[in-house]
Amino acid sequence: MSNSQTSIEAFDAVDLIHTKRDLGELSTAQIDWLVDAYTRGYVGDEQMAAMTMAIFLNGMNRREIKDLTMAMINSGERMSFTGLGKPTTDKHSTGGVGDKITLPLMPLVAVFGAAVPQLSGRGLGHTGGTLDKLESIPGWRASLTNEEMFAQLRDHGGVICAAGRGLAPADGKLYALRDITGTVEAIPLIASSIMSKKIAEGTSALVLDVKFGSGAFLKDIDRSRELARTMVALGEDAGVAMSALLTNMNVPLGHAIGNANEVRESVEVLAGAGPADVVELTVALAREMLDLVGITGVDVEAALKDGRAMDKWREVIRAQGGDPDATLPVARETHVVTAERDGVLVEQQALPFGIGAWRLGAGRARKQDPVQHAAGIDLHAKPGDTVRAGQPLFTLSADEPERFARALEAVEGAYRIGDPGEPIQDGGPLIAERIGR
């Protein structure tokens, strides 16, 4: 007999599934074994799928979530930035429509002497991916070695790149499974997924941008609040300085939804202009990130106005092989939708516009699909704006005009022009709440 046939495992996966299915609590040793056994292939996808559904239905307590997070961290390497000589501070967004905040935020925070190790991801479905956006810039590369990342943080103060495969590999395997088994929204699994990567990354401070509303991962603000509190507690337990902002994703963020067009809008913000909501959230998150590492009393808004943040952007883009002066991709075809009547734009739902941009080619249905960097939607009016009949409301862009029909289907009924004085359906203020010490 081979060793694999005679080795004795510490637990039985079926017993653990029964425990969680029947509202029981998994021990630290059981969770450690489960994550390790799944990572090395002893526990199969079908068994882990049953476990994730049991967790989705029955939840986990704070200790179990902490143990799950630590087990996923321990499945791979842990990075350390202790030799940088400057504090590290990072931001994570749960994702939304038009959320390009990482792009202007990283250079803005780096201006003030903090190091920003922004490990980012790709889009899947209606939420865009930071790496996909930046790959619109000719020459820019997402994949860096740990040594290259450290050197860029030391020399330039900021980096946006893909997480290495050695960082929490259990999470990568588990996330792919959750995505196809209807268990993505389970708060213990979301929290452990995000925080295992961020804690393993080695940042000393982390600000969470947790979305709620129509275009968010979790629509309900109470669920988003629960997720934020869970992640803040996980980070604090691991010695990371934490805070979270609950932010409104009922309406798309900014005017651009896509990839290259979101880069253009981010550069506008770095030039001291850009949409008010993008500027507001960028500044608020920058203040949080700096406060957590003790950099206070600085004028964040001034660094956008006087060109310092733009200079830092150009520096870090060049450091990753990109040309900040290059012409960004432009779609071959456009389709403009105009207002049918005079009035006020009273509604503009985020999710349908995200789906519309995805159908135009800005997103991917499968992880291996390419994105079309020039595809997307540009909004010419936001809720509260007065419009006239025939005025452009938004422009669809795509390389293949046959994509327009399905994108228009997605946004049908997602926006509405009302009469002056009619209530605006935007879900309230952009920043609803702060969580943390």
Active site residues: 92, 171, 178, 193, 197
Query: What contacts 401, CB < 8 A, 6 or more positions away?
Result: 333, 335
Q: For residues 204 and 240, is the Cβ–Cβ distance under 8 A?
A: yes
Query: What contacts 255, CB < 8 A, 6 or more positions away?
Result: 98, 265, 275, 378, 379, 380, 382
**How many CB atoms lie under 10 A from the CB of residue 380?**
17
- H/E segment holding residue 311: helix 308-319
Q: Is 421 left (phi over 0), alpha (psi -120 to 50) or beta?
A: left
CA 190 to chain centre: 12
- Partnered with residue 247 across adjacent β-strands are 211, 431
- Output the DSSP codes for 154-172: HHHSEEEEEPPTTSSHHHH
Chain length of the chain: 437
Question: By CB neighbour count within 10 A (0-12 exposed, 13-18 middle, 19+ buried), where does 308 fall?
Answer: middle
